[in-house]
Structure 1
Amino acid sequence: MNQIVRENRLLPLIFVLFALISFVAILYSHEFSWDFSPFHRRQQFASLNVSPYSPVGLEHKKGNKDRETTLPFAIGKTPEECDIFSGKWVIDKENMPLYEESECPYIEPQLTCQQQGRPDKDYQFLRWQPHGCNLPKFNATMMLEALRGKKLLFVGDSLIKGQYLSMICLLHRLVPATGKSFKKSMFSITVLKLKDYNATIEFHWAPFLLESNVDDDPNKNLSERTIHKGSIDTHGKYWEGADIVVFSTYIWWMTGFKLKVLKGSFTDEVKEIEMLNAEEAYRIAMQSTLDWVERNMDPKRTRVFFTSMSPTHLRSIRWGGEPDGNCYNETTPIQDPEYDWRLNAHESIMQVVDEEISKSRVPISFLNITRLSSYRKEAHTQIYKKPWSPLTPEQLANPKSYADCMHWCLPGLQDTWNELLFTKLFYP
């Protein structure tokens, strides 16, 4: 009888002890998963032989220097003394190009310079060498593993579409034909689906980021181009759920005219339109985009990048060439150490980008590709592209009149943009 009484007295104590142990176990499991998940991510990539950059993965928010934010995907940190955007171009025929044009079926004929008859290939053999440090080698296996179950999205115009095509060329070789599908759209979403990774790499056509009257009609007269103020959600609905987003918008703003900014709707019978210069209109688009990011993207799981302007090479006199020349027939990069790269950039636009990103309440990683790209006057498609419309006899008689000094051959310069993206993603 006494033994039964003692056992009955012990039951509540045992129950309390069990509940306490369960509570601690649950609490510990949450602590473990939160505190050590970066460690497991580093362990996951340890066998991939990646860069020896320090495994910190922290970045200060611009405008809030006292706070550090652990960035998703980060497994290391670029040394503070290493500015990956400052350096020089070096010939490296052993490691470049990173893929062959003929090996990538996704490159559009407007960018397949060798297929379109370009006689030289030296533009493919240049590698970007930062001063005082090395870029980590682009690791396609590592990138694919990081994208498992995720979406990588490029947003903007045809220039960032080139970067998108470069990225899928860098990755697709590791995925068997049965493990991927590609759906192309001219003015909407282009998607490479990686079935075995449950991942997608996507491009969304949005040349102004805001809704515009050239979203479906890029041939609209320059003076008639109109952006819709307050319309960021028109395109933004396609960006939801992305884990890595790369924004870029520039060349469509440079019309030489003031831009029309619509305050109401394109369907309004009487439209309220304000005429703004490029900088003022660009600032509206930047503010709207960053506001959308803050409202819709979780900085604990999503990385947001903004790419600086892609330079053009329309006037060869700027690098010591003929007064009436451009990038046509150029086969070497600009090598003059005194060359002012800002001649091919729009500094006031760059200032707007810097000012608005500095105000962002979420981390934005800035890819400053302008300076390093300004040296690459030879890397454009020039006349070695499939034309959008038949060339006239007058054009054929004067090739430089239709040389494209805006877009870039693939493989080529834009592969370097993705090497920089790779570095900032994993080693911010």
Structure 2
Amino acid sequence: MTTDILRFATAGSVDDGKSTLIGRLLYDSKSIFEDQYAAVERTSRSRGEEQANLALLTDGLRAEREQGITIDVAYRYFATPRRTFIIADTPGHIQYTRNMVTGASTADLAVVLVDARKGLQEQSRRHAFLATLLQVPHMVLAVNKMDLVDYSEERFEEIKAEFTAFAAKLDIPDLTFIPISALHGDNVVERSANMPWYEGPSLLHHLEHVHIASDRNLIDVRFPVQYVIRPHRANDPDLHDYRGYAGQVAGGVLKPGDEVVHLPSGLTTRIRRIATADGDVPEAFPPMSVTLLLEDDIDISRGDMICRPNNRPNVTQDLDAMVCWMAEGRSLTPRTKLLIKHTTRTAKVMVRDLLYRLDVNTLHRDESATSLSLNEIGRVALRVTQPLFVDDYQRNRLTGGFILIDEGTNATVGAGMVLRPE
């Protein structure tokens, strides 16, 4: 029986072996079917490769297979007796920064791969920075292709020292270094006999045991209302006055009897029941999806927030945020008008100002920038037409994150993180 779920993203430069690593995890943990592996073997032979190319287990898109690269975020799932895993295999090319942001936005851990022969590349630093920008609490620097440097401890220590110096500029709460060979399976699922000098865990052992419960905000109660449930069944008197508020817990722990406040009204009440598809539960916490039944009849709608009376989010129409622009063919500039979707609330928003564009390779702030183009990241000031209930992203990734939507096409054009006022 699995105990919990770990979401992790893989990142790094092109051809650092991300897809091969995930294929190795799936294969060695016996999470693929025999016919899937047989298909991979056949495809590998037709391409003239001597052994099964495990990267093909994740590179499902035809264009990716032809080019041998990952161009989209590929999500994969597997489980061990200890934990269930959701993997986001993100692309390495610089022009797919937006895909990396998408894949890492919900991750508990980021695995940044580095080719042992090449050492740190621009994309290695870029993806490490993006992971810290997105407040991914755990990071593993996996030094891959150790078989191609004769499993050299000296080479591993060089890369470790170089990345440690770079990481000093970033906020990485938990950083682990693991030397691996995804191709041969060294230190991926099992400890490698080829690197007796390495005394740490295998990658899978680390993924199974890294502690993530404390990373989720269990202090600030945040319950964005997604849907109001009012079943109408004339022959069922028990449902005649039923009014439930469904949504996903974004923070804190909720229990029957707890006093809560509704925003924006400010009215207080208590939780009467917490219902799920499997029946009532004694408590709810992130990321559970539940229905709250309250003791008092309050006018509550989608987009409203339920929280503690003495622990409320910021109620504001002005946002200071870091935005990754994702739209092709148009730029983000001051006075741009869009839609913003924050938790379950959608409203109109205007860009008041672009404060600076950030070079994610050098961390330089270009305060003379007048626009953000595709894949560029910058700090912006936004004005929303109605109040949002926000926390800064560093405190709560769910109530501190949002997306920007083109009102005409309904396409997602940006992703943002609410910042603390400087």
Do they fold alike, i.e. is TM over 0.5? no
Please indicate the TM-score interval, normalised by the length of the shorter structure: under 0.3
By relative contact order (CA 8 Å, sep 6+), the higher-ranking structure is 1
Structure number having the greater strand percentage: 2
State the TM-score, normalizing by the size of structure 1.
Answer: 0.25
